Amino acid sequence: MRIAVFASGRGSNLLAIHDAILADELQGVSLDLLVCDRLEAPVVEEVKKRYIPDFIFRPQDFPDKKAFETVIAEKLKTAAIDLVVLAGYMRLVGSVLLEKWEGRMINLHPSLLPLFPGKDAIGQAWRTGVKETGVTVHFVDAGMDTGNIFLQRKVSVDPDDTEESLAEKIHNVEHQLLPEAIQKFQQEL
């Protein structure tokens, strides 16, 4: 199964997926494309070091979302991608990609959806004072973090946690859960 990862920032989840593939923990899967909407995102340097093909673009160079999503759709087709994984892609997916990819596009989110959708989900959970939060992998639809849930894992908020330690625990769980979700999708194909 050939996958593309969409990311806008650090790329720690892309690296976790790639490490799992290299360690043979994620089997029957190859990472064949990074799609990134920020030239200066740290993930761009990381994929160059690992020789992962990429498509890096600036949304402002296109007239609208339809225009850049049309180019992305062509790149996905050329790379013969089977599954699209959004891992920190900080942009709502539009109609061009949804029409082609709904059901084959998953997103990682750092909360137990439907709680705390949108930006800064870890901060939202922290400020609300919940005893438990977590990580969700869900199918992408037109809403913001609203699609059907594919896999979820809880993370406890302990008395000695700080917002930073909670974020670290959540990221560690993400790095496990996202490769697991990809394997699950591959097994159910």
Q: How many residues bind ligand GAR (CB under 6 A)?
A: 15
Burial code (b: 16+ CB inside 10 Å, e: under 16) for 48-82 equals: eeeebebbbbeeeeeeebeebbeebeebbeebebb
Exactly one of 87, 113, 155, 182 binds ligand GAR (CB under 6 A); that residue is: 87
CB 115 within 8 A of CB 104: no
Length of the chain: 189
Instruction: Examine the residue annotation and report whether 109 is marked as an active-site residue of this protein.
Output: yes
Exactly one of 13, 17, 105, 169 binds ligand GAR (CB under 6 A); that residue is: 13
Tokens 């439907």, located at residue = 114
Closest CB 179 distance from ligand GAR, rounded Å: 12
Interface region with ligand GAR, contact rule CB under 6 A, candidates 23-31, 44-52, 62-70, 107-115 = 107-115
Nearer to ligand GAR, 77 or 184 (CB): 184
Closest CB 171 distance from ligand GAR, rounded Å: 6
Nearer to ligand GAR, 77 or 119 (CB): 119
Q: Is 147 in the site for ligand GAR (CB under 6 A)?
A: no
Nearer to ligand GAR, 9 or 62 (CB): 9
Residues numbered 157 to 176 that lie near ligand GAR (CB under 6 A) are 171, 174
18, 109, 138, 171: which is the annotated catalytic residue?
A: 109
Q: Is 69 in the site for ligand GAR (CB under 6 A)?
A: no
Q: Is 18 in the site for ligand GAR (CB under 6 A)?
A: no
Closest CB 55 distance from ligand GAR, rounded Å: 17
Q: Which long-range contacts (CB under 8 A, 24 or more apart) does 163-167 make?
A: 163/122, 163/123, 163/126, 166/122, 166/125, 166/126, 166/133, 167/110, 167/122
Nearest to 178 by CA among 17, 5, 15: 17
DSSP code at position 87: S
140, with CB counted inside 10 A (0-12, 13-18, 19+), is buried
Bridge-based pairing of strands 105-109 and 54-56 is unpaired
Closest CB 54 distance from ligand GAR, rounded Å: 14
Report the catalytic residues: 109
